[in-house]
């Protein structure tokens, strides 16, 4: 899986960066939220806890997805702005 950042937008009002990304996943299923967060955190030196994967879209039969990611400056900003369902969706599942 390879992630390419297409567009980066600073949003100082909400203390976050908004990223549009392309994900190449040849011969693999659409990556999960946790996989995207881990890969993006490793490649861009970001804190995984401050990344919110808003959406990942894949066209039928395609090996490419696009996504919308929000990277917050701190946890206070994250909790003030994001809805509860989005926080739950982006929590890391522990087994």
Per-residue pLDDT reduced to its tens digit, 53-81 = 999 999 888 899 999 999 999 999 999 99
- 16 contacts 73 by C-beta, under 8 angstroms: yes
Predicted TM-score of the model (pTM): 0.86
Residues 6+ apart with CB under 8 A from 15: 72, 73, 74, 77, 81
- 50 contacts 71 by C-beta, under 8 angstroms: yes
pLDDT given for residue 61 in this prediction? 86
pLDDT given for residue 91 in this prediction? 79
pLDDT given for residue 14 in this prediction? 94
Q: What is the pLDDT of residues 13-57, one digit of tens each?
A: 999 999 999 999 998 999 999 999 999 999 999 999 999 999 999
Span 2-86: which CATH code?
3.30.70.330
């Amino acid at each position: 899986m390879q992630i390419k950042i297409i567009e980066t937008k600073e949003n100082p009002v909400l203390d976050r960066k908004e990223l549009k990304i392309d994900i190449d996943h040849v011969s693999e299923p659409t990556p999960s939220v946790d996989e995207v967060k881990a890969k993006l955190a490793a490649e861009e030196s970001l804190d995984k806890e401050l990344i919110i994967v808003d959406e990942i879209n894949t066209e039928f039969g395609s090996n490419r997805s696009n996504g919308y990611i929000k990277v917050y400056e701190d946890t206070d900003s994250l909790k003030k702005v994001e809805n509860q369902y989005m926080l739950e969706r982006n929590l890391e599942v522990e087994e």
